Amino acid sequence: MPLPPKDPTALPLSRTTSLANLGERELIERIKQHLPPPPDWVKLGVGDDAAVLEPERGMLDVVTTDVMIEGIHFERTFMTMADIGYKALAINLSDLAAMGAKPRAIVLSLALPAHDILVSEVDELLAGIISLSREHEVALIGGNIACSPGPLFVDITALGSVKRRAVLSRSGAKPGDGLYVTGTVGSASAGFQWLTKCNQRNAPNQDENITPCVARFKRPDPRVKVGMLMGRNRIPNAAIDLSDGLGDAIHNLTGHGLFGAIIDATSIPIHPGARTWFEQQGLDPVSAAIQGGEDYELLLAISPTPRSRVTLARRFAEKVTLTHIGTVTNEADLILRQSDGDAPLPTGFRHF
């Protein structure tokens, strides 16, 4: 897929033009000009009342949606419009990864404060979405635009495909299963805390420790390929992505009390920059990393037998680390095992 046009004459308008001076139809046409040609299986795309897709033979459809709301999920004071677009797609791709699905298409809905956003900013938002969609060969096939009297809303619905035998889900974990997490945790939470503190007068200067954490918060890396390979090879009994924190993911994967888990505090792969930040703030790094969300890693429940299953899991994770952090148990308690004794596992992020 080609990149969106960079030549300002290709989409002529002043960079200071407000949406209020453009109009809905003109904005839709402008968005269409950014998009690469759709794949052959998109029979009708942007511009009709609905999109028409040709189903992928022998595959199941997987559908997910996530909304990002200004003031709740992001602030324009510390995220570019390109960052916002990129992340809006990334969090949806992470959901597909947790299902073992291959991303296929997205629908984009925007609620825009017309007098507070420039046309050039919408261009930047779309460029962020397209940059990630190119990487994962995802087609933008339609959506909706509305005027918002308040904050900016960016809502994406993503569609993927998966073979019936390759579907991953949150259910299926069994006592004795090992719990494995990809990558590291805590970095996005640390990055968000640093960005929030940057709005204060006494904010510290950004250093090399916190820089990757800030990047992880702004532009998470959805584990699409890992999820697809795990599903195709039927490696985990259950899987979930870490959108609302490791603690919340463990709670969901163990069936909300159907089973329990023992988590080894020393095994949790906390990002070094996040650990440093949490310690500087007087926080316990383990608790902060477990409770912090938006890492968008994968948590997998993998049977210890046959042993080759774990070996294959590590191979399919490729360049992404896969860390054993605990075990599913018959008891309903979620326990954090520490050097000074056991404690209840901290919960994850709560929306309400």
pLDDT in tens, 268-317: 999 999 999 999 999 999 999 999 999 999 999 999 988 888 888 988 88
Structure tokens at 268: 């949790």
For residue 235, tell me if it sits in a domain: yes
> 153 and 186 share a domain?
no
| Amino acid 299: pLDDT | 98
Percent of the chain residues topping a pLDDT of 70: 92
What percent of the chain is predicted at pLDDT more than 90?
73
Q: Is residue 125, in this structure, part of any structural domain at all?
A: yes
Is the residue at 121 inside a domain?
Answer: yes
My answer on whether 160 and 70 are in the same domain is: yes
Domain annotation covers residue 62: yes
- Structural domain ending residue among the three candidates 164, 190, 219: 164
- Give the pLDDT confidence score for residue 15 in this predicted structure: 63
Structure tokens that stand for 251 in this block: 């709670």
Average pLDDT, the chain: 90
Domain containing residue 46: CATH number:
3.30.1330.10
Q: What are φ and ψ of residue 170, in 5° steps?
A: -75, -25
The reply to whether 198 falls in a domain is yes
Residues 150-199 have pLDDT tens digits of 899 999 999 999 999 999 999 999 999 999 999 999 999 999 999 988 76
CA 257 to chain centre: 26
CA distance 348 to 289: 9
Q: How many domains does the chain have?
A: 2
* In a shared domain, residues 130 and 160: yes
CA-to-CA separations, 176 to 111, 262, 331, 345, in angstroms, rounded: 46, 10, 11, 18
Q: Of the candidates 107, 140, 164, which is a domain's last residue?
A: 164
Residue 195 maps to a domain? yes
* Alpha carbon of residue 22 to chain centroid: 32
Please tell me the pTM assigned to this model: 0.91
pLDDT score at 9? 34
Residue 268 forms part of a structural domain: yes
- In terms of domains, do 160 and 213 share one? no
Q: Please, which pLDDT band fits residue 50 given cuts at 50, 70 and 90?
A: very high
Whether residues 146 and 241 share a domain: the answer is: no
| 202 and 313 housed in the same domain | yes
Q: Are residues 201 and 314 in the same domain?
A: yes
Backbone phi and psi for residue 55, each to the nearest 5 degrees, phi listed first = -65, 150
Residue 307 confidence (pLDDT)? 81
143 and 64 in one domain? yes
Residues 117 and 221 grouped into a single domain:
no
Range 60-88 average pLDDT: 95
Q: How far is it, in rounded angstroms, from Cα 208 to Cα 193?
A: 16
| Confidence check: pLDDT of 12 > 60 | no
Measure the CA–CA gap between 314 and 308, rounded to whole angstroms.
10
Of 116, 136, 164, the domain-final residue: 164
Q: How far apart are CA 142 and CA 105, in angstroms?
A: 9
Mean pLDDT of 137-160: 94
* Same domain for 195 and 86: no
Burial class (CB in 10 A: 0-12, 13-18, 19+), 143: middle
**Lowest mean pLDDT across 59-68, 109-118, 337-346:** 109-118
pLDDT score of 10: 45
d(CA 74, CA 296): 16
Same domain as 133, residue 60 = yes
Task: For 217-229, write each residue's pLDDT tens digit.
Answer: 999 999 999 999 9
* 173 domain residue, yes or no: no
Contact 254, 327 (CB under 8 A): no
Q: What is the CATH number of the domain that holds 183?
A: 3.90.650.10
Q: What is the domain extent for residue 126?
A: 22-164
Predicted pLDDT at 204? 59
39: CB partners within 8 A, 6+ apart:
139
pLDDT greater at residue 34 or residue 265: 265
Based on the fold, state whether residues 115 and 252 are members of the same structural domain: no
Q: Pairing mode, if any, of strands 102-112 and 139-147?
A: parallel
